[in-house]
Chains A and B, each alone.
Chain A
Amino acid sequence: MAEAAKSGAAPAPAKAKKKFLYVNRKAPYGTIYALESLEVVLIAAAFEQEVSLAFLDDGVFQLSKGQDTAGIGMKCFAPTYRALGDFGVTKLYVEKEALSERGLTVEDLQQVTYEDENDGFKAKPSIVLIDRAALAKVMAEQDVILSF
Chain B
Amino acid sequence: MSMLHTVNKSPFESNGLRSCLAHASKGDTVLLIEDGVYAALKGTAVSGDLWRCRIDVKFCVLGADLAARGLDKGRLIDGIRVVDYGGFVDLVTEHGRTQAWL
The answer to whether A and B touch directly, with their CB atoms under 8 angstroms apart, is yes
Binding site for B on A (CB under 8 A): 23, 25-26, 33, 56-57, 132, 135-137, 139-140, 142-145, 147-148
The answer to whether A139 and B22 touch (CB under 8 A), given A23-B99, A145-B99, is: no
Q: How large is the interface on B (under 10, 10 to 19, 20 to 34, 35 or more residues)?
A: 10 to 19
* CB of A36, distance to nearest CB on chain B (Å): 11
B101 close to A (CB within 8 Å): yes
- Cα distance A132–B22 when bound, in Å? 7
Instruction: Give A142 to B3 CA distance when docked, in angstroms.
Output: 10
A-B contact pairs, 15 of them (CB 8 A): A33-B102, A56-B19, A56-B23, A136-B22, A136-B23, A136-B25, A137-B25, A139-B3, A140-B25, A144-B97, A145-B3, A147-B99, A147-B100, A147-B102, A148-B102
What chain B residues lie within 8 Å of A144 (beta carbons)? Answer: 97
Interface check B47, CB cutoff 8 A: no
Complex: how many Å from CA A145 to CA B95? 13
Q: How far is the CA of A56 from the CA of B23 in the complex (A)?
A: 10
B interface residues (Cβ-Cβ under 8 A, vs A): 3, 15-16, 19, 22-25, 97-102
B23: nearest chain-A partner, CB-CB: A136
Which residue of A is nearest B6, CB measured?
Answer: A147
Contacts of B24 in A (CB 8 A): 136
Residue pair B15, A139 in contact (C-beta under 8 Å):
no
Residues of chain A lying within 8 A (CB to CB) of residue B22: 132, 136
Taking a contact as CB atoms under 8 Å apart, the answer to whether A147 and B101 are in contact is yes
Which residue on chain A has the smallest CB distance to residue B1? A140
Q: Chain B residues with Cβ under 8 A from A132's Cβ?
A: 22-23
Q: How far is the CA of A119 from the CA of B92 in the complex (A)?
A: 41
**CB contact between B3 and one of A56, A140, A148 (< 8 Å): that residue:** A140
Question: Which residues in A have their C-beta under 8 angstroms from that of B23?
Answer: 56, 132, 135-136, 139
Residues of B close to A56: CB separation below 8 A: 19, 23
Q: Is the CB of B99 within 8 A of A25?
A: no
Given the complex of chains A and B, what is the CA–CA distance between A56 and B100 in angstroms?
A: 14
B102–A142 contact, CB under 8 A? no
**B15, B19, B101: which has the most chain A beta carbons within 10 Å?**
B19
CA of A101 to CA of B16 in the docked complex: distance in angstroms?
Answer: 15
- Which residues of chain B have C-beta atoms less than 8 A from A33's C-beta? 102
Q: Which 10 A-B pairs have the closest CB atoms?
A: A147-B100, A145-B99, A136-B23, A140-B25, A57-B19, A147-B102, A132-B22, A139-B23, A136-B25, A147-B99
